[in-house]
Structure 1
Amino acid sequence: MKIQPIKNECENQIVDLILNIQQKEFNVSITLEDQPDLLDIENFYYKPGGIFLGAFIDQKLVGTIALVKFSKEGAAIRKMFVKKEFRGKEFNIAQQLLEQLIKYSEENGIKDLYLGTVSILEAALRFYEKNNFIRIQKESLPADFPLMKPDNVFCHLKLNP
């Protein structure tokens, strides 16, 4: 498995992976139109100082994680998805994606990571909590946190200086 930064050239693979998981696997009522960031990765993620990582096995995209920098020291985790058949400890893809994102964040002066998700994604919430994220109320989010319409659970991780 190889994890690397990905940009617009992987757009079709990214859209296919994420929409299939959101819509077909978890029945989250979200469309591509609700996620214009997926069609403009370079401007949405990279330009403000974030990153979009992809995990590849045999040149096929099997996982993603992205970082939206929304303030000098604050960023939001987005688009954390791993294909069903590659989840779990055997492959450890989600863990490696998160660790690379945290390393990138620390190297780039980010001190606070936030994320929003939907309560139906219980395994994802357990994963974040196992990685020291703490659930917070929506009202506790920074004012400039980029909210996504379906999100109803929010988490925060304070990074080491």
Structure 2
Amino acid sequence: MKINIQPLDNTYSDQLIDLILSIQQKEFNIPITIEDQPDLRQIDSFYQEAGGNFWGAFIDGELVGSIALVKFDERAGAVRKMFVKKEFRGKELNIAQKLLEVLISFCRENGIDAIYLGTVSVLKAAMRFYERNYFVQVEKENLPVRFPLMSADDVFYALKINQAV
């Protein structure tokens, strides 16, 4: 199976909304709606114009994964919308890893030294994934002032890019 990772824009909003909401609501029962995530309809302005980006992983033309970067400071960004369809998860295809590597490469090329993220404590596999990738858990009060908090998030991580292996 060939995985194609490419930047996304607003033309992919509906596919992204289908992917993300089904994982959030159906798989993990997180009480979140599209109204809580207006950024999914404003990819160009919310992510790209500010210096971040949004990527999708495709297999045979089907969107099976996503990751986004919100640049919130001169040299810092927030990882958002990291999702992979259940049937495409795992080491065999390694989609999450490939998406994260694309994001980190983008950060290196664009002078972003640190990335932060928030997640939900029920997402144990996601937490293990971030820890395997050298993210360090940080207390909410130690996040950068301008970090864009999401109401559902209760666990936070940081990664210094120029120190990443």
TM bin, normalised by shorter chain, reads: over 0.9
Instruction: Please tell me whether residue 94 in structure 1 is matched to residue 96 in structure 2.
Output: yes
TM-superposed deviation, 1:32: 0.5
Partner of 2:10: 8
Residue identity over aligned pairs, in percent, reads 62
Structure 1: give runs of 5+ residues left out of the alignment: none
Separation (CA, whole Å) in 2 of partners of 1:105 and 1:26: 29
Counterpart for residue 21 of structure 2: 19
State the AA in 2 paired with 1:99. E
Counterpart in 1 of 2:63?
61
Structure 1 residue matching 2:162: 3-state secondary structure: coil
Q: Which runs of 4+ in 1 moved over 6 A?
A: none
1:157 shift after superposition: 0.1
Q: How does 1:7-156 map to 2 (within 5 A)?
A: 7-156=9-158
1:42 CA drift (Å): 0.4
Q: Deviation of residue 124 (structure 1)?
A: 0.2
TM-score (norm 1): 0.99
TM-score of the superposition, structure 2-length normalised?
0.97
RMSD: 0.7
In structure 2, how many angstroms separate the alpha carbons of the residues matched to 1:13 and 1:110? Answer: 28
**Residue 93 (structure 1) shift:** 0.2
String of CA shifts for 1:6-25, please: whole Å, max 9, x gaps. 11001110000000000000
Deviation at 1:3, TM superposition (A): 0.2
Instruction: Give the match's secondary structure for 1:91.
Output: coil
Q: Secondary structure at the match of 1:61?
A: strand
5+ residue gaps, structure 2: none
CA shift digits 1:19-66 (9 cap, x unpaired): 000000000011100001001010000010000000000001000000
